[in-house]
Structure 1
């Protein structure tokens, strides 16, 4: 009898604790609706899955496009690409030497083996990164997938614009030779504009410009901050990986960095949707109601 009484008392206590916890969670949701909406948004976007898929697509399909550009582009363009890679990832030492060797492979044999057909196939395969990012934008804004006729040409346009942006990123970050005092604000502004345009382009213009601005600001600032932080962390990590594992160490480290980068991107775009639907911003931005 005593055991039954003790068990009944324990069960009653657990039930009370459960009810208390449920009530407190309900109160927290009412007091912090933004946190609740943001948490639900990250689940809807499948944050880790989306960022990992984007990183893999960028590594497997977008990077080869850079190698193709290096094989056919003049020396000045290759130097710009290396400069931008140094800015974005903080390359130095053995890791930078590995990248220089890759981008330096531009002899006639490479060009002949690639050919026009190879260039076209590489560009088309690289649009898989565009498609993956489009799905993230559509999930974040809870819109239905766009029809192929509306969106297909946008994948290639997005890829070409980003290639051009990468080529000048090193110059922008250095303030076109004038230093950090100009390079930093230019980097923030150009990154924000690029991600603002990216969302509008990949959503097929189905969301007005202004509601996309919070996500563009968050993503643009996050990407620039990550790039500057990488200058302090990545050189040591990359050179250590290259010393221990050779070229494979460079591959693994860059892939890990890409996952972090696209996590920042997915968080920025998804959070931008939640911010744009906050009551204080809905009227100012003209945010359309959720579908």
Structure 2
């Protein structure tokens, strides 16, 4: 029995799961996920509503983007569309200053994601004038979400799953590298990108099984507020996966791929004075 305990203890230490849990507490993962959901709903969603309303292909607007991301369909998707869809004249009523404010709010969302990545990799915050990285990341994020929605009707089955997985890995792989100012090696960031997409796939399956019936139930019981609560809960899950995937990638490299955090840094980061 004692031999088994020592074996389990050595296996636990080799796995390093306790380190992953400690890093999650240090990052305040759940708290950051809730902040991610709040910022996404308050700052990113209005920008996506305007962008989706300007879609020349007219595929249902922001509600179709949201339903596709959550993986809901049928009556739940229709309920979501009826409640979330903005007025048809949203583009005409959005002035220049309103558009600028929406863009600024979206950049603040990108800044929060950048800050979380910097905390995960223990890097100093980037200077304020690098806000262009946040703007570029935000534009690519919108393009990524747009192509995800557009391929829903153009591509089906395993082909769409493969295309979605590939584009997702590429986006989150590039996104970390870009927001971190190329201070972390490409190969070091790949496990986190794969973990993020794997987690999002699991969240999509969970959403299909749990949130699909819950949307209809909450719509009947609580109306619009009930739908917003479901969407906010899903966004918390997205934030948890996005940050947790990057954190898992860092932990995996530390314990099972590379020795020492110094091996993660690029030559550009090493040349910078501390």
Please classify the TM superposition score into its range, dividing by the shorter chain length.
Answer: 0.7 to 0.9
Contact 2:53 2:61 in 1 (8 A): no
Q: How many Å apart are 1:67 and its aligned residue?
A: 1.8
State the partner residue of 1:130: 110
Q: Tell me, in whole angstroms, the C-alpha distance in 2 between the residues paired with 1:279 and 1:226.
A: 25
Pairwise CA RMSD of aligned residues? 2.8
Among 123, 135, 138, the residue aligned to 1:156: 135
Q: 1:109-149 CA distances to partner (integer Å, 9 max, x unpaired)?
A: x4443211101111111222111111110111011111112
Cα distance in 2 for residues equivalent to 1:102 and 1:173: 20
Rounded Cα–Cα distance in structure 1 between residues aligned with 2:217 and 2:182:
45
63, 81, 85: which one aligns with 2:66: 85
Length-normalised TM-score, structure 2: 0.84
Compared CA separation, residues 112 and 172, structure 1 to 2 (3 A): closer
1:222–1:268 Cα contact (<8 Å) kept? yes
Please tell me whether the aligned partners of residues 49 and 61 of structure 2 are also in contact (alpha carbons under 8 angstroms). no
1:250-269 → structure 2 map (5 Å cutoff): 250-269=227-246
Superposed, which structure 2 residues align to 1:241-256 within 5 Å?
Answer: 241-256=218-233
Residue 166 of structure 1: which of 138, 145, 150 is its match? 145
8 Å Cα contact 1:94/1:242 also seen in 2: no
Displacement of 1:181 after TM fit?
1.7
Distance 1:29 1:93 in 2: 47
Aligned partners of 1:71 and 1:106 also within 8 Å? yes
Shift in Å, 1:95? 5.3
Q: CA deviation at 1:73?
A: 3.6
- In the alignment, the residues of structure 2 paired with residue 172 and residue 112 of structure 1 have an alpha-carbon distance, to the nearest angstrom, of 27
Q: Among residues 90, 96, 100, which one is paired with 2:78 in the alignment?
A: 96
Q: Report which of the two has the higher share of helix.
A: 1
CA distance in 1, matches of 2:12, 2:52: 55
Is the 8 Å Cα contact of residues 42 and 270 (structure 1) preserved in structure 2?
yes
Question: What is the CA–CA distance in structure 2 between the aligned matches of 1:43 and 1:98, rounded to whole Å?
Answer: 34
Unaligned runs of 5+ in 1: 1-23
Do the aligned residues in 2 keep the contact of 1:223 with 1:261 (CA within 8 Å)? yes
Match of 1:218 in 2: 195
Structure 1 residue 51 corresponds to structure 2 residue 33: yes
User: Residue 31 of structure 1: which of 13, 18, 22 is its match?
Assistant: 13
Q: Give distance in 1, aligned partners of 2:54 and 2:257.
A: 51
Shift of 1:251: 0.5
Q: Deviations over 1:222-259 (max 9, x none)?
A: 11232233223221011111111111111111101111
Change (3 A) 1:91 1:115: farther
Larger-gyration structure (1/2)? 1
**TM-score normalized by the length of structure 1:** 0.79
Map 1:221-240 to 2 at 5 A.
Answer: 221-240=198-217
2:242 alignment partner, SS class: helix
CA contact (8 A) 2:168 2:197 kept: yes
Q: Distance in 2 between matches of 1:92 and 1:62?
A: 26
